[in-house]
């Protein structure tokens, strides 16, 4: 979630950083799980799903470091 918290725009999971060590299907499962917990929001852009974190969650994650 740190990677997503540091991304100012909704993130396309097809462009994940190499150091994340998750395959795209694994990352999609993680994002769906976080979405069910309302920690990540799905945004449709150009017919694709992008993910973002609510501002209050983003602030908590970035201040936690």
Read off the pLDDT of residues 18-47 as tens digits, 9 standing for 90 and up.
778 888 788 889 888 999 998 899 889 888
5-15 pLDDT per residue, tens: 888 888 887 77
Alpha carbon separation from 49 to 43, 61, 65 (Å, rounded) = 6, 22, 28
DSSP string for residues in 24-40: HHHHHHHHHHHHHTTSE
Which pLDDT value is given to residue 65? 61
Q: Are residues 28 and 14 in contact, defined by beta-carbon separation less than 8 angstroms?
A: no
**Is this structure's pTM higher than 0.75?**
no
Which pLDDT value is given to residue 3? 80
């Amino acid at each position: 979630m740190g990677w997503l918290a540091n991304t100012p725009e909704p993130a396309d999971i097809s462009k994940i950083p190499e150091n994340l060590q998750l395959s795209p299907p694994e990352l999609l499962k993680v994002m769906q799980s976080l979405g069910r917990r309302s920690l990540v929001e799905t945004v449709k852009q150009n017919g694709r799903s992008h993910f973002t974190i609510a501002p209050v969650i983003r602030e908590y994650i970035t201040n936690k470091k």
